[in-house]
């Protein structure tokens, strides 16, 4: 039986696009139930709509507890087998990650350089190797169990934007490969 996912993304959505393209071409046997974004002008919403995928805008509110509750309620109604966070720039609540299976793609080799600015932190630290990590999301910040990683060499005098783009290229293939391996192993929580 085909597994279902919900994608969470805040920005341009190049990783979401890789998943959408892989699903459309049959390289990934998955049903994308919805793409959820917290940013009203996020390009990922347009990408999803062009791919015929339902979208949902969930902008941050002053009351974070209500925002968390409404996100949980919305995703629960969709009943995904897996939630896939790709460039979603919000920390998910402990209640959310205890209720759903969630993976995240991160542009660094965790446990090094967790948080919101891993590419900048990599360059500031003078690291010669970085990469991409797909990991389970737990109640910490980028602390969940690592599922897959791929290295990217840091080039001499590299800018943050050029390094981040080279990491994204690796992330796009890594997230699709990880989903292809992971989805068949998941037990469905619903009939």
pLDDT tens, the chain, 191 aa long? 799 999 999 999 999 999 999 999 999 999 999 999 999 999 999 999 999 999 999 999 999 999 999 999 999 999 999 999 999 999 999 999 999 999 999 999 999 999 999 999 999 999 999 999 999 999 999 999 999 999 999 999 999 999 999 999 999 999 999 999 999 999 866 54
Residue 75 CB partners (closer than 8 Å, separation 6+)? 6, 36, 83, 96, 100
Residues 138 and 100: beta-carbon distance below 8 Å: no
* Residue 157, SS3 per DSSP: coil
Q: How do strand 146-153 and strand 129-136 relate by DSSP bridges?
A: antiparallel
Residues 84 and 6: beta-carbon distance below 8 Å: yes
At residue 189, the pLDDT reads 61
CA angle 70, 72, 19 (to 5 degrees): 115
At residue 187, the pLDDT reads 82
Residues 37 and 44: beta-carbon distance below 8 Å: yes
Q: How do strand 30-37 and strand 102-106 relate by DSSP bridges?
A: unpaired
Residues 78 and 6: beta-carbon distance below 8 Å: yes
Tokens of 16: 């979401």
At residue 52, the pLDDT reads 96
Tokens of 163: 């390094």
Which class is 3-185 in CATH? alpha beta
Tokens of 130: 């970085």
**Torsion angle defined by CA atoms of residues 112, 142, 156 and 160, in that order, rounded to the nearest 10 degrees:** -150
Cα–Cα distance for residue pair 171/155, rounded to 1 Å: 18
* Residue 31, SS3 per DSSP: strand
At residue 1, the pLDDT reads 79
At residue 191, the pLDDT reads 41
Catalytic residue numbers read: 106
């Amino acid at each position: 039986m085909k597994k279902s996912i919900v994608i969470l993304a805040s920005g341009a959505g190049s990783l979401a696009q890789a998943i959408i393209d892989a699903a459309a071409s049959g390289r990934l046997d998955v049903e994308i139930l919805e793409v959820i974004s917290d940013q009203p002008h996020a390009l990922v919403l347009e990408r999803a709509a062009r791919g015929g995928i339902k979208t949902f805008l969930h902008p941050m509110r002053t009351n974070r507890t209500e925002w968390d509750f409404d996100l949980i309620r919305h995703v629960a109604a969709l009943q995904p087998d897996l939630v896939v966070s790709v460039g979603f720039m919000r920390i998910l609540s402990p209640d959310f990650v205890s209720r759903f299976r969630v993976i995240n793609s991160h542009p660094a080799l965790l446990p090094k350089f967790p948080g919101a600015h891993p590419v900048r932190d990599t360059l500031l630290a003078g690291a010669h190797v970085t990469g991409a990590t797909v990991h389970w999301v737990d109640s910490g910040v980028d602390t969940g169990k690592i599922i897959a990683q791929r290295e990217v060499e840091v080039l001499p005098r590299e800018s943050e934007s050029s390094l981040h783009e080279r990491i994204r290229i690796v992330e796009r293939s890594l997230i699709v490969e990880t989903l292809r391996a992971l989805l068949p192993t998941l037990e469905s929580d619903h009939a």
